[in-house]
Every structure is written in structure tokens, then in C-alpha cells.
Structure 1
Amino acid sequence: MGLQDFAPVYHPAGFDPELRAVLADLQLGRWLAVRDLLVRTGGDWALRTARTQVLAVAAARTDAVEAWLAEEPGSADAVVMRARVAVERTLQAHRGEHASTGVLEREARQECLIAAQRVPADPVPWVALLALAQVDVGLQCGEHWRVAWEEMLPAGPWGLLARVGERDPAGNREAFHRMLQFFYSCPHTSVVDAINFARWAASWTPVGSPLRMLPLYASIESYWRHRQDGTLDPLQHRQWSREPVVHYVRGAFHGWKERLAPSTSVVDLNYLAHALWAGHQYADAAKVFGALDRYATRLPWAYVCDDPGHPESAVREFVRARAQCLTTTRTHATPAPKHRLRPV
């Protein structure tokens, strides 16, 4: 198979084979495997947050969690998953502009508070509450508009982020992405606010932290929004090879883990591969593409492809970028042929 014939794989479980197996069961409405997986996950907050997020998307289309609670009403994990599923259904209704969004949001908030009380050390109920902030476009809930920790940053659901941080001091990836989503959706904030927040977070997080990827998300979101509203500078694609974007791309790449853990985000690595490729850092991009193996995500490729409305266009963009990076790297790595000396 040639580089251009490469067929990427899209799967929400990513690098987590245990989660992949459980999702197959969950999609059939079975919950026992979910219960056992969360028991094995324990207090690994990064992994627990990532797994419950993916599980909630699948469970929202079934009654598996409801069946679990009916069988085991004393299960704390089931209570947390009920909150996760309620939030996911609310977000789906909000994206679809359904009239039921308000009712679902209130119910989801209540489920999150119940879960937070039931498992006080768990950051996941607070991450779920933070996810609901983007639905509150009218800022009806006071906790969604608190003064920021830094003077130059906008107000937002900082109290909820702090609650997550108290329980997961390492820096919860999803929580910070939920903050970004709030700044994108709130009518009183902007993409510039999101960029400033992302750069602030990346400035103090340790090497190897997934929070160092945040500026990459904010930069591509800015590119996409300018593209959508017709204000895109023809030279804006060059931002990936210019400061300060290069600084943040290098910061994200430095310390990234080539030995991938189950909690490693496939989306993060797609954003990193894109940023390096777009900045003509082909050798480093090839390393990330190599680590990704076949795993791809729709974004950011759909934002930069020729026809964002067609999924196959995003696939082609991913395949093209991957092939260019791997081909360039292999060409440069090929040693020059040795010249034989002619006998005298």
C-alpha cells in the first residue's frame, strides 16, 4: 500500500483497547463491562475523565446506564455516569437547537450535583458541570461568570474550574477544553479571549502536559472562524511558521509522549501533527504521524481542507499531509550512494 493509499481509522476509543472492547458492549445496551472498566480505572483521573466522556456519548443513545442504576442503585460509578449521560444529551439538544434544552440542562445540573455529593473526591462531576456552562448563553447561572484568576483574562466559570483543580491538580484536559468552548460560545467573550486563555494555560503547565496543546486548538479555531465569515487573510495559513504560534507549537511538541498511554488524546496528536506540518516542520510531524499509526480525527483537517462540507475532503487532507511528511523524512534519511574507486 502506497502512502497516498493509506486508509485512516476513526474510533472514539483511540489508544485505549480496553475502552474499545467496552464500547462494543455498551452500544448493544450492556452495562456490566462499563462497570468493570470504571472499577479498574480507579483514581487515575486523566483516564477516568477521558473514559467517562467517551462512554457517555455512546450511552446517551441507549438506556444502559438507567438499567445499571436499576440493578445497582448504590453504585457511585453509575451515579457519575448518569450525570455524564444527562450532560451529553443536553449538549446534543443544544447543538440541535431543540426546545427541550432548558429542561434537560436543569435535570443534568441536578444529576451532576448529586454525583459530586456522592463522590466528593471525583473531578468528573465538576467537569460535567463545566461542560454545561456553554449551554448557558444568557448567563442565567451566576457561577458561569466569575472574575478570572489573572487580570488580563475574561470572566467565566472559573469557580468550576477551580473545583476540578482541587481534585485533579495535574491539570484536567477536558476541563480546560470546556473552558475554551465556553469562551467560543459566550456572547460576551471572543476567540481572542480563548487564545489568551489557551496561551496562559500553556505558559505554566509542565513539559508533556496535554494543556500545552491548547494554543493549537485556539489558533485553528480562529483560522476557521475567519474562513467562515469571509475575513480570512490569504496569508493567515502562514501563522504556523511564524511567532508566536511557532513558540506554542514547539512547546506542545517538546516532551510529548511517543510511548502513548490509554488516556493520550488522538485529537491532540492530530492537532499537533497538523500544526507541525503546516509550519513545514516535516520531520517532527512525521514522528507524530508515526505515533498516530492509523488513527485520525475529523478536526482539524476539516477546517483546512478544500471542501469542509464533505468528510472525504478532510480524509484526503490528513492522508496528503501524512504522506508529505513521511516522504520528505524518508528522502532526507536516505544516504547518498557511495562511489566506487576505479582501480589504477
Structure 2
Amino acid sequence: MIRKPGRRRAAAHALDAALDDVELASARAALAQGRWQAARTLLAHTGDDWDLRGHRVTVLALEPYCAAWANDWLLAEPDSADAAVLLALAQVRRALRGKGEAVRAREACRSAAALAPADPTPWLGLLMLEHTVGAGEEVVHLFGEVRARHPDHHHAHHLMVARLAEHRADVGPDPLHEVYDFANWAAEQAPADSPLAILPVVAHAERYRVLATTGHEPPDPAASGHWTGRRARQVMKAAFDWWLEWEHEGHPRRLVDLNFLAHAKVCEGRGAEAAALFHRIGEHPTPAPWSYPDRDPYPAFRAARDTALGTA
């Protein structure tokens, strides 16, 4: 495995997809100016840390002109797996925004997968393209391809939870909904120190998003009873206890988990526990779940944080 450089905390930016990855933010800024060499160096140093690679590639792919610059890079280095996967995810992002063709994005992902058979990132791109609600056959296949390469892939599990939560959207609250079974299964299958232990909390938030969107829950999550039932309390306590024991300073997407957990503690009315999480989050909120179901995420985050920290 190629050794990756140390990562430091980035400057505060509201809703910055790079989170606290300084090297990623720097490479993204260079890419925005057409200098793809910084992205080349970044991905080379990332090596086969698959969660970190997936995070960095997907964030770089958000840059509006990433596809053009990645294509230039691939023309210069036709055998570069890094250039191919960056171009593929950029094509995926374009397709998801309605700016490009899904067929072209799928072809790019398949080409990238052929250049780097062990890399789950091209398969993550293919999974992102699937709009099937629930766990259709193709979704299950693609998720299986990701897990075959990295069983604890953080981003892929979050995608599956969000998709499964949308299944049977109109039936109302259901404590036996399949998204809970999936999240519990993934948490149990993962090693004891895996951040997938937080996945049941993510499933609960994603199900709230669906229920609130369809009118089965109030639009203010803190006013909902969704987080106060016995099962919900058990899920929140287990996740918070896991965080106290296994807090991961190094995981590239740990701030995603911390935001979900802080949101849950706010909705549960556990202000002291939420405050501890907000201290760790700092100025790195994530759109999900603060935007649920249709809120402006940064003001929602700030209001919840101020209340928890007693500064409102």
C-alpha cells in the first residue's frame, strides 16, 4: 500500500464536501484552475485506502470542469487508473446533474474498473447512477461489487441506506422496515471498530426524511416522536457508546457520522451528548441530515449547535 500523507484540519467552510481534508481542498482548488497535477499527486499518495480514495475522488468530481481536466490528464497518461476513475466519477456527477448522459458515465466507470480491478471506486460511481428505489437486482449487484473489494465501504453503505429508506414510502412508520434490518446487519457484520456501527442511526434519519416528505412526520425533526421511541433510544445509545469507545480521528468521512449522531441527539433531547459531538464537528456540518426534510442545512445546524452549547 502506498503511504499517504498526514491530514490536518482544513479552514472552516460551511458545507464543504472536502470536510477537514486540507490536501483534498488544495488539490480541488488547483483542479478548478485546470492544474490536474495536484490531483494526480493526491490520488497517488492516497493509495489503496479505499474509503479515503472514494471520498477524495467523489469530492474532486464535484468541481464543474473536472471532466474536462480529467480527460486532459487521461490523454496525457492513457494507462492512468487515477485519471480514469476521476473522469468516470466526474461523468457520474454530470449525469446526476442532468448535464451529461448516464450511458457515457457508465462506460467511463466500466473502463476505470478494467484499469484497476481491485478499486471499488468505479463501482461506487455505478451505484450512484442507479435510481432504483429499494434494493433492485442491479443495485444489489453493484453493492456486492463494492463490498467484494472493500466490505466496510462507508459511502456505499450510506447510499444503500438512503435508497432502502425510500422503499414503501407511503405506508407510514414501520419499525420493521427493511432499512433497519439492513443497517443492523451491516453493523453486525463489520469489525468492532468500524464506523458502520453508526449506520442504524443513519437509517433512522433517512427513514424520517422519507416519512416527513410524505406527510407522515412533522417537518420539524425535533418536534417529531421519531427519535423518542424505545427502539430509537436503544439505537442512539448504542451508537453514542460506540463513539465514546472507538472514536476515529482518521476516518475521512467520520464527520458525516458525527453530524448524523449529533442530529439524532438533538432530536432525542440529549443536549449534553449533542454538545460533545458538536465540539468534535467544529465548523464541518454536512447537508445530510440537517437539510431533512426540506430545511436550509447550515442555519439548521447552527441553531441546533447553539442550543446544545448553551449559546443561543
TM-score greater than 0.5 by the shorter chain: yes
Rate the CA distance shift 1:185–1:115 in 2: closer, same or farther, 3 A. Answer: farther
Report SS of the residue matched to 2:210. helix
Name the amino acid aligned to 1:251. A
Contact 1:12–1:54 (Cα < 8 Å) also in 2: yes
The answer to whether the 8 A contact 1:45-1:168 is kept is: yes
Query: Aligned partner of 1:320: which letter?
Result: A
C-alpha offsets along residues 198-242 of structure 1, whole Å, 9 cap, x if unaligned?
A: 233223333442322322233223223332332326997233232
Question: For structure 2, which runs of at least 5 residues remain unmatched after alignment?
Answer: 1-11
Partner of 1:166: 148
Q: 2:21 aligns with which of 16, 30, 36?
A: 16
- Provide the aligned length of Structure 1 versus Structure 2: 292
Secondary structure at the counterpart of residue 63 of structure 1: helix
For residue 223 of structure 1, the aligned residue among 194, 208, 213 is 208
Paired amino acid for 1:42: G
1:127 to 120, 124, 128: 124
CA 1:68–1:59: 2 relative to 1, 3 Å: farther
How far apart in 1 are the matches of 2:144 and 2:248? 30
- Residue in structure 1 matched with residue 77 of structure 2 by the alignment: 72
- Match of 2:310? 327
Task: Letter of the 2:240 partner, please give it.
Answer: F
For 2:65 and 2:232, the matched residues in 1 are separated by 37
Q: Deviations over 1:258-296 (max 9, x none)?
A: 452261343321111111122122222212111111111
Q: CA RMSD in A?
A: 3.0
DSSP-derived class of the 2:35 partner: coil
TM superposition score normalised by structure 2: 0.82
Structure 1 counterpart of 2:53: 48
- Superposition TM-score, scaled by structure 1 size: 0.75
Change (3 A) 1:229 1:255: closer
Encode CA deviations 1:283-338: one digit per residue, 9 max, x unaligned.
2221211111111123322226xxx45x3xx433322221222239xxxxxxxxxx
Give the distance between the partners of 1:196 and 1:91, measured in 2 at CA.
Answer: 28
1:254 to 208, 226, 241: 241
Residue 184 to residue 259, structure 1, CA distance change in 2 (3 Å): closer
SS in 1 for 2:126: helix
The correspondence for 2:136, drawn from 145, 165, 172, is: 145
Q: Which amino acid aligns with 2:290?
A: W
Tell me what 2:185 maps to: 200
- Please give the residue correspondences for 1:264-303 in structure 2 after superposition, counting only pairs within 5 Å: 264-303=253-292
Instruction: Work out the CA distance in 2 between the residues paired with 1:193 and 1:166.
Output: 22
Instruction: Report the Cα distance in structure 2 between the residues aligned to 1:9 and 1:268, rounded to whole angstroms.
Output: 17
2: CA distance between counterparts of 1:175 and 1:224? Answer: 19
8 Å Cα contact 1:208-1:252 kept in structure 2: no
**Is the partner of 1:254 in helix, strand or coil?**
helix
- Paired with 1:265 and 1:75, the residues of 2 have a C-alpha distance of 29
In the TM superposition, residue 35 of structure 1 has moved relative to its aligned partner by 0.3
Q: Which has the larger radius of gyration?
A: 1
Identity score, percent:
34
SS at match of 2:227: helix
SS of 2:130's equivalent in the other structure is: helix
Q: Distance in 2 between matches of 1:244 and 1:164?
A: 30
For the residues of structure 1 that align with 2:206 and 2:112, how far apart are their CA atoms?
Answer: 33
Mapped to 2, the partners of 1:175 and 1:46 lie a distance apart of 10
Matched to 1:286, the amino acid is A
Q: Match for 2:227 among 235, 240, 257?
A: 240
